[in-house]
Structure 1
Amino acid sequence: MKPQNLVILWLHHILNITVLITQRELFLKNVAQTSDFPLALEIERAEGVYLYDTEGKSYLDLISGIGVSNVGHRHPKVVEAIKDQVDKYMHLMVYGEFVQSPQVQLAKALVDSLTPSAGDRPVLDNVYFTNSGTEAIEGAMKLAKRYTQRTEFVSCYNAYHGATQGALSLSGSENFKRNFRPLLPMTKNITHGNMADIEQVTEQTAAVIIEIIGGEAGVRVPTIAYFQALRKKCDEVGALLIIDEIQTGFGRTGSFWAFEQFGIYPDVITSAKGMGGGMPIGAFIANQKVMSVFKDNPILGHITTFGGHPVSAAASLATINLIRGEKLYESVPEKAALFRSLLVHPKIKEVRNQGLMMAVEFADFDELKGIIDRAIEKGLLTDWFLFCDNSMRIAPPLIITEEQIRTACEIILSCIE
């Protein structure tokens, strides 16, 4: 190669490094940080179960953007739906004023995914769209207070329902709440899966808000009997049972909704994360009688500008059609079993899961953090849980293949060593 060409290549390399450093510096300077140790991976593109950085290095994504990319990154049918909707219209009017096809068709698809109900319980046939899971929780809380005319909420220790004021009030971790008090009064925590604690639900309770699977607690799976007893108690005292399916919904646990596996039917469901196929959207779903309380006293009892954005709704409709049409949840138990069979090591204390919502427990955070860091170096992205920092989060896109599962487990085991 000619000397002048070598100089040009060298300068090009130096310029590229400068650009990368500048991007990182801008990230740290101008993008609000919530920890002192962000991953700061600079991802250029994503597809399927892989992320790719600016150097072309691939990362096998075992956490799906924290339970978001259930159908994989940039699924062609989701991308096509987004492009088609952008060519028609984007934001038109605040939610609930115009008849917008993406919202209407998505609401119908969500309602169809929830029927039939158990026994003569009213079918959940009314959908209120939001921008996120936290907003869905906030709306569901307002709905419960307005419908029952009560003010007490019961949630679980080590539960996570969001970070806004109302949702944070439900959190079962004082470490996350203490520096933001005062929060909402009349909230109390019970232990997820504990039968005796069900008695704390009383005639003063507006709603019990609970995850079917304790997510940030490290994937805690209760018994069917527990949820049936909780359902019965809520009926006896007139409290609403609000099931948080923000992490568990859209096929994550082996059925479209996780509650289907527990022989119950909720009064309200909250959804988000995997709902949008990578686009921001959430919802809370109830029956028409319950939802109608937002219509008067006051009128516009709950409002949103961007909730149910047409582009997000179109992406969500494509996602729900994919998951249900291709029955992606049917292969989840088999894939989860493969993970469990491969993740065997003396340092692995326990593997907990409901479908592809998994926690791999180690001795402590320091040991786990070292494994996670080494895995990232080897091109595998994992994480831990907010309230269980000695357990590795595994929640890959549902489309992950057997070969990719084997590769992921080989990397994890090599990083343990």
Structure 2
Amino acid sequence: MNNRQLFLQHLAQTTDFPLLIEIEKAEGVYIYGPEGEKYLDLISGIGVSNIGHRHPRVLSAVHDQMDKYLHLMVYGEYVQSPQAQLAKALCDTLPSSLDNVYLVNSGSEAVEGALKLAKRFTGKAKLVSCENAYHGSSHGALSVGGNEIFKRAYRPLLPGVTNIAYNDISSLEAIDEDTAAVLVETIQGEAGIRVGSADWFQALRKKCNDTGTLLILDEIQCGFGRTGKFWAFEHFGIVPDIVVCAKGMGGGMPIGAFISNKEVMSVFKNNPLLGHITTFGGHPVSAAASLATIQVLKDEKLIAQVDEKANLFKTLLVHPEIKSIRNKGLMMAVEFDSFAILKPVIDRAIELGVITDWFLFCDNSMRIAPPLTISKEEIREACSTILRAIEEVKSLEV
């Protein structure tokens, strides 16, 4: 059996129509098939490869760490340099009130840990999140998600969860003294790139302060430079009590974190001790890759280039079929009239060598979230291909 047959026979499937693109290699903004097929990756593995595929400094950090040790012990017992150095580097990117890092394996796990932390610290049970939010697929993360289509088959989920409208100040009345935490994507991703106003975020921060509620910001998709700031919340003049991150954090390696202050995080030490446990969280190879990723973002000044590159996409992607472009930096949604129009364009673009996608809760919009390393020439190539795909799909309708 070839790899495609093995994939279909033995790997659990999540749809009846996987992309089935077979990959041999990836480098920079490109991925390659076994027959030399070349694809420009405009979605970065869904927001993961912020510094491109197989960045040389990430590879070097991974190789160096592999020569020293791999897994040694469950999280939090041994002093391991990659973990300690990464935690310090993360804290250096954040306001001083966020100075304590818990390393996990993924964004969903980071959300689970943050929810536990908020409930344990406040002694409250009620959770508030937003409509059309996506925070992960594990049980707790799904419970605070904001789309019933994804939730209904798995109910009963966590009790005491209320969904409010994102960017609606009146909806903040749902937050009260019984609320342990409000969990919000700083920029809503799967809703199709929805950007809240500074006024809303500041009202949210004040409401949390007034009710003794912890504010958790989900920066799993929008963190690590994607919006033109290291953290997206920097755009809005607020500081969360807990921030969660993953995806672009690892340079292609699996890692996540939830970050708070030492006082809040200390509740995991007692009653019960080992209040949150992970075996592989902060794996030394992933931690080394993440530290290298932070250094690349800073040294190559990639974040400072984000707005200019995003504006080039917006300048070039002009077509009667494109109704609007929503974005914060290189986190972009290109809107079409419907999924029926968009899906053939995505399929044709892939055939022509440019990989895009749509959003879970916004299927009439094309996802564009390329590696931040993408060049202006590569942006022009990508946009030209998308426009060609639109024209070729239109010609088939005549």
- Assess same fold via TM > 0.5: yes
**Alignment partners' CA distance in 1, 2:72 and 2:347:** 45
1:48 corresponds in structure 2 to 28
**CA apart distance, 1:324:** 1.8
Q: Does 1:28 align with 2:5?
A: no
2:194 corresponds in structure 1 to 220
Q: How does 1:4-403 map to 2 (within 5 A)?
A: 22-116=2-96, 123-403=97-377
2:381 corresponds in structure 1 to 407
**Alignment partners' CA distance in 1, 2:301 and 2:130:** 32
2:250–2:286 CA contact under 8 A, matched in 1: yes
**CA apart distance, 1:286:** 0.2
- Paired residue secondary structure (2:372): coil
2:396 corresponds in structure 1 to none
Structure 1 unaligned blocks of 5 or more: 1-20, 117-122
CA RMSD of aligned residues (A): 0.6
| Matched AA of 1:65 | G
- Paired residue secondary structure (2:24): strand
**Alignment partners' CA distance in 1, 2:274 and 2:370:** 39
**Alignment partners' CA distance in 1, 2:301 and 2:84:** 23
| Matched AA of 1:107 | A
| Matched AA of 2:8 | L
**Alignment partners' CA distance in 2, 1:326 and 1:157:** 37
**CA apart distance, 1:327:** 2.1
1:328–1:398 CA contact under 8 A, matched in 2: yes
1:256–1:324 CA contact under 8 A, matched in 2: no
**CA apart distance, 1:167:** 0.3
**Alignment partners' CA distance in 1, 2:24 and 2:265:** 42
Deviations 1:296-343 (A, max 9, x none): 000000010000000000000000111122221100000000000111
2:95–2:239 CA contact under 8 A, matched in 1: no
Which stretch has the larger CA shift, 85-94 or 317-326? 317-326
Quote the sequence identity (%).
Answer: 67
1:276–1:316 CA contact under 8 A, matched in 2: yes
Deviations 1:133-161 (A, max 9, x none): 00000000000000000001100010000
2:110–2:257 CA contact under 8 A, matched in 1: yes
| Matched AA of 1:104 | A
**Alignment partners' CA distance in 1, 2:190 and 2:259:** 23
**CA apart distance, 1:361:** 0.5
| Matched AA of 2:88 | K
**Alignment partners' CA distance in 2, 1:63 and 1:169:** 26
2:83–2:287 CA contact under 8 A, matched in 1: yes
| Matched AA of 2:27 | E
**CA apart distance, 1:229:** 0.5
**Alignment partners' CA distance in 1, 2:338 and 2:159:** 34
**Alignment partners' CA distance in 2, 1:336 and 1:140:** 31
| Matched AA of 1:158 | N
Deviations 1:217-258 (A, max 9, x none): 000011111100000000000000000000011100001000
**Alignment partners' CA distance in 2, 1:299 and 1:221:** 39
- Paired residue secondary structure (1:227): helix
